[in-house]
């Protein structure tokens, strides 16, 4: 089975700092992969290069067999890579509905009717539990709901790879539980790459975990294997009680 | 006159332009460097300096040097006060939002310019230079006053550099420029620093105008060219860099002088403006400045 | 944040057009000519609003697009002796080409740099007009001869210097551009432009090629402004460098701000109000531009949404 996403020797320097250092990474279709690691390990830089927000200093990115290293971000989105921002980036002055309508009107390319757009928008809003807030200005949503709106916008793109950057940050516990159900639901139709610091969420959701440290991949494996891994414990998790 | 001396004359004229331009551009550069604000009315502060110099020197009778010196001291102070009021009333209320500030300073431009038209009138009026001494070079005679402009400007630039790098006030200004939030956390009164810097920028333009007005005349539209040239200098020299400003002013002044003498002044302006637009498009940090954080 | 039904929106705009049509029979001669001029300039404002209100790009150089239309059409008649329709097309084409070139360059910058770059390019345009004064007439300007300003349509010929023909031509252009901007604003493309204005990075990450969209907006804006300039030359018979000066870059900004940026009818309201105020005050003092300065500062300090923008926010949320 060909990997959905593969990086070869992917690196990014900022002056003397090697934020991402020669990373070889593969992601199979249908996985839920969690990326964890201490702050500054290069996780966000890594996924920013995958989504196209920043350019790599060297290395290659291959998506579903095609080299996308030189592709601008907006083309990658059309190829099926969706990214939700670590720091919420929605259209605060537009309604929740309008926020989701924008990605929808892109995917329903060939002269979509108003009802087709509406159906697709409401589907995305219902999956994330925001349907009853459709006509609120997005800036008036609570922080947790704004994070969910980000996910709804990502969903509306009907991506093959959905990259979630610290999606549960700032969510209440009940909201996190709903979120876990949502991600499992998403994973039935898309591959999910998830950056998270919340370890219970990671352990519940991830099929496999990749651990970043100082710009490199420290370890990769099933949640149990990672939990037992001594190097990972030392760098990030702490020893088991 | 042969080509060599002609070139020397053009170069001297260019240096005089550079001297005045360096001071004016420095004012603009400081305001942008510290406050991150583009003051489109900067040329009008220049014009005010010249107009006030005329008013003061005609009010004071006696030897022209007395009137001139009075103007040199009083005019910048008045202009600085006006700038301070404008900053307090308008810019502070806008929270220094970049686009709103530019629109507001455009408004200030029209207000100052049209008030000058109302009270000063549309005529151009001369101011007598403080002294008329002609220095005789082998090929031509040159105005001693013009040479003194170069000297005065150099002195002022050095003084400004010393204040910026060696004094506590300069340190406060540089700290506010580098990181205004942290500066505020350290107890620096950022609001007052901004007011002071805006006033200082206006005063530099005013002093430059007072220096040049005995040679050119005071006219209510005379702020337009210095504004454009200051923009060019600041963009090419890099914002907030004193050294870059001076070097760029010398370059622009000299080339403007030389091109204007051998070709048409309009062509010189066209080339300069086009160059600067291209620099902004392709190399936004200018030739000397560092890219913004 | 509701949206009007197409019927409601178009009815409102057609109503405004009908009102302007009716006014032509009622207004005294001086105001008749004034309103014709205002309508042509309102087209300029609408073009500016496209870029400023809907994409959020503040240009300080739009005089060059107006000037491209003005001189394109005017010189086509004066220097080349072409007819009115062709001259108008030349004016628009000049504007479109210039907008494309400027857009490709200036869109590499944003925010304050964009403002300065557009201002500089406009300055170059203005200086070139002065430099090539032998063709353009420089700051003296040139008259577009009266006999040439006749539109020949088969058997009939319409004399553009006739006040009624002039008014109706201005109204026709205004109505066309008004309805076109309404259509754009309500379209998918219009929503993308607003999205770019609200959050460009987000819009990129939703799969939109924001550079192309912005470039298209610059070209549309520049073309509309050039149409206004071309009409101005043909209807009022004079091309002069003052129309390419920085003042004509500031005025559309003022008109749009006053009337309400990102509203379709705001530009008309702003132009009507401000042009009339300036016209009246220029009778009293030569320093009438003082009003421009005061208006800009008051608007930006206290009233940034403008007339229709405030009305839309407070009462009529459906106003396009």
Whether A42 maps to a domain, the answer reads yes
Structure tokens at C37: 């001029």
Cβ neighbours of residue C262 closer than 8 Å, sequence gap 6 or more: C49, C53, C54, C194, C309
To the nearest whole Å, the CA of C256 is away from the closest chain A CA by 21
Query: What distance in Å separates residue C204's CA from the closest CA in chain B?
Result: 21
Q: Mean pLDDT throughout B53-68?
A: 86
Distance of CA B245 to CAs B150, B278, B280, Å?
A: 16, 18, 15
CB crowding C13-50: b at 16 or more within 10 Å, else e: beebbeebeeebeeeeeeebbbbbbbbbbbbbbbbbbb
Nearest to A77 among C188, C192, C205 (CB): C205
Name the pLDDT band for B293 (thresholds 50, 70, 90).
Answer: very low
Is B111 within 8 Å of C285 when comparing Cβ atoms?
Answer: no
User: Three-class SS of residue B85?
Assistant: helix
Task: Give the Cα separation of B219 and A176 in Å (integer).
Answer: 69
Q: Which two tokens stand for residue C253?
A: 């900004």
Name the residue ranges covered by the structural domains of chain B.
3-221
Handedness of CA A86, A89, A95, A101 (dihedral sign): negative
Alpha carbon of C268: minimum distance to chain A alpha carbons (Å) = 25
- Count other Cβ atoms within 10 Å, centred on residue A172: 12
In 3D, which of B58, B207, B225, B70 has the Cα closest to residue B126? B58
Q: Is A73 on the interface with C (CB under 8 A)?
A: yes
Dihedral of CA atoms A238, A6, C202, B97 in degrees, nearest 10, equals: 70
Look at residue B204 and tell me whether its pLDDT is greater than 80. Answer: yes
What the block records as the tokens of C158 is 């319409």
Q: Phi and psi for B142 in degrees, rounded to 5? A: -135, 145
Residues of B in contact with C304 (CB under 8 A): 100
Listed range (B22-26, B149-153, C136-140) with the worst mean pLDDT? C136-140
- The answer to whether residue B109 neighbours chain C at the CB level (below 8 Å) is yes
Location of structure tokens 């459906």? C318
**Residue A14 belongs to some domain of the structure:** yes
Best A52, A53, A74, A82 member to test C by mutation, with max C CBs in 10 Å, is: A74
Residue A55: other Cβ atoms inside 10 A: 11
Please give the distance of CA A126 from its chain centroid, rounded to a whole number. 20
Instruction: Pick the more confident residue, B264 or A138.
Output: A138
Partner C contacted by A154 (CB < 8 A): no
User: Between chain C and chain B, are at least 3 CB pairs below 8 A?
Assistant: yes
- State the Cα–Cα distance between residues B274 and B270, nearest whole angstrom: 6
CA distance A153 to A4: 22
B237 versus B112: the higher-pLDDT residue is B112
Q: C13, C264 in Cβ contact below 8 A?
A: yes
Query: First and final CA of chain B: distance in angstroms?
Result: 52
The per-residue pLDDT string of chain A (241 residues; one tens digit each, 9 = 90 and over) reads: 789 999 999 999 988 888 899 999 999 999 999 999 988 889 999 999 999 989 999 999 999 989 999 999 999 999 999 998 888 899 998 999 999 998 888 777 666 677 888 888 998 898 888 888 888 899 999 888 898 899 899 888 889 999 999 888 888 888 888 889 889 988 988 999 999 988 899 999 999 999 998 899 988 999 999 888 888 888 777 665 5
Q: How many degrees, rounded to 5, is the angle at CA B81 between CA B76 and CA B84? A: 125
Instruction: Name chain C contacts of A89, Cβ cutoff 8 Å.
Output: 199, 201-202, 205
Please name which of B80, B96, B105 lies closest in space to residue B36, comparing C-alpha atoms: B96
Residue by residue, pLDDT tens for chain C (320 residues) are 457 788 888 999 999 999 999 998 988 888 888 999 999 999 999 999 999 999 999 999 999 999 999 999 999 998 888 888 999 999 999 999 999 999 999 999 988 889 989 999 999 999 999 999 988 888 888 888 877 788 877 677 788 888 888 999 999 999 999 999 999 999 889 999 999 999 999 999 999 999 999 999 999 999 999 999 999 999 998 999 999 999 999 999 999 999 999 999 999 999 999 988 888 888 888 888 898 899 999 999 998 999 999 999 888 888 88
Q: Does domain C6-243 have CATH number 1.10.3720.10?
A: no
Q: What is the Cα–Cα distance from A34 to A194, expressed in whole angstroms?
A: 5
Tokens of B162: 């010393």
Pair of tokens at residue C221: 């804006």
CB B272, CB B279: distance < 8 Å: no
Judge B/A contact: 3 or more CB pairs < 8 A.
no
Say which of C116, C127, C297 has its CB closest to residue B270.
C127
A108 close contact with C: CB closer than 8 A? no
**pLDDT at B289 > cutoff 50:** no
Phi, psi of A43 (to 5 degrees): -65, -50
Burial classification of residue C291, based on how many CB atoms lie within 10 Å of its CB (0-12 exposed, 13-18 middle, 19 or more buried): buried
Check pLDDT > 50 for residue B291: no
In chain C, domain spans: 6-243
**C-contacting chains (≥3 CB pairs under 8 Å):** A, B
Kindly state the tokens that stand for A169: 């940050």
Q: Of C109, C127, C304, which has the smallest distance from its Cβ to B273's Cβ?
A: C127
Give the residue-averaged pLDDT of B260-275: 82
Q: What is the CATH number of the domain that holds A225?
A: 3.40.50.300
Q: Which of A110, A154, B110, B81 is nearest to C287 (CA)?
A: B110
Of the candidate ranges B146-155, B254-263, C262-271, C289-298, the one whose mean pLDDT is the lowest: B254-263
Q: Which residues pair with C158 in a beta bridge?
A: C151
| Chain A residues lying within 8 Å of C1, measured CB to CB | 94-95, 98, 135, 137
Query: In whole angstroms, what is the distance from residue C14 CA to residue B244 CA?
Result: 57
Looking at the 3D structure of chain A, how many domains does it have?
1
Please say if the pLDDT value at position B113 is more than 70. yes
What is the pLDDT, as a whole number, of residue B1? 57
DSSP of C11-24: HHHHHHHHHHHHHH
For chain B, the average pLDDT equals 86
Whole-prediction pTM: 0.89
Contact state of C300 with B109 under an 8 Å Cβ cutoff: no
Nearest neighbour of A157 by CB, restricted to C1, C192, C207: C207
Q: Is residue A181 part of a domain?
A: no
Domain that holds residue A13: 1-70+163-172+193-241
For residue A238, give the nearest of A193, A196, A199, A194 by alpha carbon: A199
């Amino acid at each position: 089975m060909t990997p959905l996403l593969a990086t070869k020797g992917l690196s990014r320097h900022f002056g003397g700092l090697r934020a991402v250092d020669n990373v070889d990474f593969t992601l199979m279709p249908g996985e839920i992969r969690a990326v964890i690691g201490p702050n500054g390990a290069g996780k966000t830089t890594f996924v920013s290069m995958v989504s196209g927000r920043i350019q790599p200093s060297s290395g290659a990115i291959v998506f579903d067999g095609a080299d996308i290293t030189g592709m601008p971000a907006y083309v990658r989105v059309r190829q099926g890579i969706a990214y939700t921002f670590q720091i919420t980036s929605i259209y605060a002055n537009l309604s929740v509905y309008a926020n989701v309508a924008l990605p929808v009107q892109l995917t329903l390319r060939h002269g979509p009717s108003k009802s087709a757009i509406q159906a697709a928008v409401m589907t995305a809003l219902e999956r994330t539990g925001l349907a009853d807030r459709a006509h609120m200005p997005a800036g008036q949503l609570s922080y947790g709901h704004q994070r969910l709106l980000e996910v709804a916008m990502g969903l509306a793109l009907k991506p093959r790879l959905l990259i979630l950057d610290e999606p549960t940050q700032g969510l209440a516990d009940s909201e996190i539980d709903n979120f876990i159900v949502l991600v499992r639901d998403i994973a039935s139709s898309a591959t999910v790459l998830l950056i998270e610091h919340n370890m219970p969420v990671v352990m519940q959701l991830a099929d496999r975990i990749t651990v970043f440290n100082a710009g490199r991949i420290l370890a990769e494996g099933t949640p149990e294997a990672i939990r037992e891994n001594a190097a990972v414990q030392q760098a990030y998790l702490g020893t088991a009680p | 006159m042969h080509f060599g001396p002609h070139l020397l004359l053009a170069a001297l004229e260019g240096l005089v332009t550079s001297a005045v331009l360096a001071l004016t551009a420095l004012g603009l550069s400081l305001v942008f460097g510290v406050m991150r604000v583009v003051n489109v009315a900067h040329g009008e502060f220049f014009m005010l300096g010249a107009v006030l110099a005329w008013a003061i020197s005609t009010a004071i009778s006696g030897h022209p040097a007395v009137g001139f010196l009075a103007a040199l001291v009083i005019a910048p102070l008045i202009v600085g006060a006006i700038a301070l009021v404008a900053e307090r009333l308008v810019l502070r209320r806008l929270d220094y939002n970049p686009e709103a500030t530019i629109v507001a300073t455009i408004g200030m431009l029209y207000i100052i310019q049209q008030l000058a038209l109302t009270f000063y009138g549309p005529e151009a009026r001369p101011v007598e230079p403080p002294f008329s001494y002609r220095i005789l070079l082998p090929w031509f005679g040159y105005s001693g006053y013009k040479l003194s402009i170069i000297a005065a400007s150099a002195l002022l630039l050095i003084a400004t550099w010393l204040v910026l790098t060696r004094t506590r006030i300069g340190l406060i200004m540089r700290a506010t420029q580098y990181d205004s939030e942290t500066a505020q956390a350290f107890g620096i009164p950022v609001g007052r620093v901004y007011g002071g810097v805006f006033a200082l920028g206006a005063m530099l333009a005013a002093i430059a105008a007072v220096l040049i007005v005995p040679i050119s005349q005071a006219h209510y539209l005379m702020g337009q060219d210095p504004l454009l040239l200051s923009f060019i200098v600041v963009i090419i020299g890099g914002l907030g860099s004193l050294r870059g400003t001076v070097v760029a002013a010398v370059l622009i002044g000299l080339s403007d002088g030389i091109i204007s003498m051998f070709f048409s002044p309009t062509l010189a302006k066209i080339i300069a403006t086009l160059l600067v637009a291209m620099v902004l498009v392709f190399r936004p940090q200018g030739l000397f400045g560092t890219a913004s954080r | 944040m509701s949206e009007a039904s197409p019927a409601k929106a178009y009815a409102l705009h057609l109503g405004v057009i009908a009102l302007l049509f009716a006014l032509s029979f009622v207004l005294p001669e001086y105001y008749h000519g004034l309103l014709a001029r205002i309508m042509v300039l309102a087209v300029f404002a609408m073009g500016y609003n496209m870029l400023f209100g809907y994409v959020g790009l503040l240009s300080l150089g739009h005089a060059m697009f107006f000037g491209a239309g003005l001189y394109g059409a005017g010189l086509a008649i004066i220097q080349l002796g072409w007819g009115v329709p062709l001259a108008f097309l030349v004016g628009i084409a000049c504007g479109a080409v210039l907008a494309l070139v400027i857009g490709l360059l200036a869109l590499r910058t944003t925010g304050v740099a964009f403002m300065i770059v557009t201002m500089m390019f406009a300055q170059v345009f203005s200086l070139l007009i002065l430099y090539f004064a032998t063709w353009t007439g420089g700051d003296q300007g040139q008259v577009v001869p009266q006999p040439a300003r006749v539109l020949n349509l088969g058997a009939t010929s319409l004399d553009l210097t006739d006040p009624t023909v002039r008014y109706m031509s201005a109204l026709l252009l205004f109505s066309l551009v008004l309805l076109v901007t309404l259509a754009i604003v309500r379209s998918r493309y219009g929503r993308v432009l607003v999205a770019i204005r609200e959050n460009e990075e987000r819009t990129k990450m939703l799969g939109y090629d924001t550079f192309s969209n912005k470039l298209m907006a610059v070209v549309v804006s520049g073309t509309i402004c050039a149409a206004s300039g071309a009409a101005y030359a043909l209807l009022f018979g004079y091309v002069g460098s003052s129309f390419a000066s920085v003042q004509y870059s500031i005025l559309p900004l003022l008109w749009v701000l006053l009337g309400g940026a990102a509203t379709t009818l705001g530009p008309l309201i702003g132009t009507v109000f401000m042009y009339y105020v300036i016209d009246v005050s220029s009778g009293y003092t030569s320093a009438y531009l003082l009003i421009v300065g005061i208006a800009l500062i008051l608007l930006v300090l206290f009233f940034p949404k403008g007339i229709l923008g405030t009305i839309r926010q407070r009462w009529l949320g459906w106003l396009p």
